[in-house]
């Protein structure tokens, strides 16, 4: 048996050995993507291909820490129910032996092309290769080896290729660090996805490393998403260890010049990083992110005891309004609604027993204030005087509380919250602000409290089929 097959089999054995404990873990999500065992981080290769959505992810099957990553693989007909497949790519070759790192998917001539970074570390010296794997059936992937090496002027922190097509050319953006240790995103172009020409820097200006870039045009605006490292926290901004956000503008493809505005964070929650998007057959721009952040102590997540850690966000549809990205859970997620737990007007106070798989919708908010309490763990508060929303939870190390704050441009009119065992995703004003966070509330606590005057609908949600 070759090394690739051996690694894939070892990963499957690890899944089998731990499956029962993991599925029975009260913190394991029922409708979010989480690792079958081990650690999940970035979503990779998100694409709708021949009508089926494929989602790959950074996967470490053997421990709840980082290391030589695999590409885990799921597919779905509806973005709600995901079927797991064996690992698509394993770290089995000299050019990816220390990790099949993040990347993207694109279709050409009925084949699926996966571009990823091969991570290689020898005696603490790092190398990075941009590699290709192709598939004709969307299940088995043939590695085609190194396509691009690190150009002069950059360190080996050169990774996470995202590829797209415009007119008759293909383009690739890569997250990079210059030898002066400045973060940047660079680009390449190609006519055939095989021979790539270096176009140079697309954007830079702050931080020491930019990871996981993504570039697309939406509602007439060119957008570069990326996850910069090394930003100092500033007021309510940049509160997480590393950030994730976007700049918008106009790309002059001929001169490879991106005229753009300031950096805006995509999510205001405690755990969000390395999102990736795709355009589906309906023309929707869909985003999925990692509901985690790098460099967080894994032992602080109680789930590590059951040999799994982290999860992804729900798929969100993006739009640009007044220059800002709005993110809404995709329409298909309404299919998760199994039972209506509450549907009516609330004057001042609603107290409801809800379980850990629920959706809470608060509309027509007609009050100066709003306060939500979830399971005696997380609170959400609105302050009308400065239009801020504050999410508060206990610190993961148990020492007091921590907060994340977002500021609305519009008056508050709606809140939609998805609760899934140990996660909370809050969409404010149809996605003007989003907070993605893990939530390790005591398992017995069942309560939802809402203090405001509004219309409220609460649903119990089903599990995804294929979980």
CB atoms within 10 A of CB 388: 16
Q: Which of residues 41 and 90 has its CB atom nearest to ligand FRU in the complex?
A: 41
**404 scored as a contact of ligand FRU (CB under 6 A):** no
Give, as ranges, the residues between 143 and 162 that touch ligand FRU (CB under 6 A). Answer: 159-160
**211 scored as a contact of ligand FRU (CB under 6 A):** yes
**68 scored as a contact of ligand FRU (CB under 6 A):** no
- Residue-wise over 246-273: b if at least 16 C-beta within 10 A, else e? bbbbebeeeebebebeebebbbbbbbbb
**284 scored as a contact of ligand FRU (CB under 6 A):** no
Tell me 95's DSSP state: T
Q: Which of residues 41 and 92 has its CB atom nearest to ligand FRU in the complex?
A: 41
**25 scored as a contact of ligand FRU (CB under 6 A):** no
Cα separations in angstroms, 170 against 118, 217, 258, 285, 374: 21, 14, 17, 18, 47
Q: Which of 104, 117, 311, 313 binds ligand FRU (CB under 6 A)?
A: 117
Q: Which of 212, 223, 309, 374 binds ligand FRU (CB under 6 A)?
A: 212
Minimum separation from the CB atom of position 287 to ligand FRU (A): 15
Q: Which of residues 58 and 277 has its CB atom nearest to ligand FRU in the complex?
A: 58
443, two tokens: 């398992």
**CA separation for the pair 340, 455 (Å, rounded):** 14
Give, as ranges, the residues between 428 and 457 that touch ligand FRU (CB under 6 A). Answer: none
Minimum separation from the CB atom of position 392 to ligand FRU (A): 26
Q: Which of 48, 58, 90, 278 binds ligand FRU (CB under 6 A)?
A: 58
379, two tokens: 């609170």
Q: Which of 102, 277, 278, 306 binds ligand FRU (CB under 6 A)?
A: 102
**41 scored as a contact of ligand FRU (CB under 6 A):** yes
Active site residue 127: no
Minimum separation from the CB atom of position 318 to ligand FRU (A): 20
**CA separation for the pair 430, 416 (Å, rounded):** 8
Whether residue 287 contacts residue 276, with contact meaning beta carbons closer than 8 Å, is answered with yes
Residue 6, φ and ψ in degrees, nearest 5: -60, -45
Residue 61, φ and ψ in degrees, nearest 5: -75, -20
Q: Which of 4, 25, 42, 445 is catalytic?
A: 42
DSSP SS3 for 39 = strand
Which among 237, 154, 431, 413 has a CA at the least distance from the CA of 318? 431
Q: Which of 79, 173, 224, 274 binds ligand FRU (CB under 6 A)?
A: 274
Q: Which of residues 73 and 159 has its CB atom nearest to ligand FRU in the complex?
A: 159
**CA separation for the pair 252, 219 (Å, rounded):** 17
Task: Give the catalytic positions in this structure.
Answer: 42
Binding site for ligand FRU (CB under 6 A): 41-42, 58, 69, 99, 101-102, 117, 159-160, 211-212, 273-274, 294
């Amino acid at each position: 048996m070759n090394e690739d097959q051996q690694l894939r089999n070892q990963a499957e054995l690890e899944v089998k050995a731990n499956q029962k404990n993991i599925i029975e873990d009260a913190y394991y999500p029922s409708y979010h993507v989480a690792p079958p065992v081990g650690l999940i981080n970035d979503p990779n290769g998100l694409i709708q291909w021949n009508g089926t959505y494929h989602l790959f992810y950074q996967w470490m099957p053997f421990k709840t820490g980082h290391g030589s990553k695999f590409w885990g693989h799921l597919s779905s007909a509806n973005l709600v129910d995901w079927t797991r497949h064996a690992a698509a790519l394993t770290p089995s070759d000299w050019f990816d032996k220390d990790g099949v790192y993040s990347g993207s998917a694109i279709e050409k001539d009925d084949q699926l092309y996966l571009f990823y970074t091969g991570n290689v570390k020898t005696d603490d010296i790092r190398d990075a290769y941009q590699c290709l794997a192709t598939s004709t059936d969307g299940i088995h992937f043939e590695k085609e080896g190194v396509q691009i090496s690190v150009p002069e002027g950059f360190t080996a922190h050169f990774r996470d290729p995202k590829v797209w097509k415009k007119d008759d050319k293909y383009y690739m953006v890569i997250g990079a660090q210059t030898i002066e240790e400045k973060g940047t995103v660079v680009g390449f172009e190609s006519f055939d996805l095989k021979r790539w020409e270096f176009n140079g820097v697309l954007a830079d200006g702050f931080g020491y490393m930019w990871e996981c870039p993504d570039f697309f045009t939406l509602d007439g605006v060119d957008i570069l998403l990326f996850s910069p490292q090394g930003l100092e926290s500033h007021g309510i901004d940049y509160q997480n260890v590393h950030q994730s956000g976007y700049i918008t503008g106009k790309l002059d493809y001929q001169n490879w010049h991106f005229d753009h505005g300031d950096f805006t964070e995509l999510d205001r929650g405690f755990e969000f990083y390395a999102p990736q998007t795709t355009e589906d057959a309906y023309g929707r721009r869909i985003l999925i992110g990692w509901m985690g952040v790098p460099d967080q102590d894994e032992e602080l997540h109680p789930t590590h005891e059951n040999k799994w850690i982290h999860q992804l966000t729900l798929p969100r549809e993006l739009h640009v309004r007044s220059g800002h990205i709005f993110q809404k859970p995709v329409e298909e997620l309404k299919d998760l609604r199994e039972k209506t737990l509450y549907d009516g007007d609330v004057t001042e106070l609603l107290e409801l027993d809800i379980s850990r798989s629920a959706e809470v919708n608060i509309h027509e908010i007609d009050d100066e204030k709003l306060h939500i309490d979830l399971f005696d763990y997380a609170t959400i508060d609105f302050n009308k005087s400065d239009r801020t929303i504050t999410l508060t939870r206990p610190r993961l190390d148990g020492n007091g509380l921590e907060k994340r704050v977002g500021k609305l441009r519009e008056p508050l009119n709606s809140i939609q919250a998805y609760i899934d065992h140990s996660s909370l995703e809050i969409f404010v004003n149809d996605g003007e602000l989003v907070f993605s966070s893990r939530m390790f509330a005591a398992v017995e606590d069942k309560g939802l409290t809402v203090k405001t005057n509004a219309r409220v609908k609460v649903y119990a949600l089903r599990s995804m089929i294929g979980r």
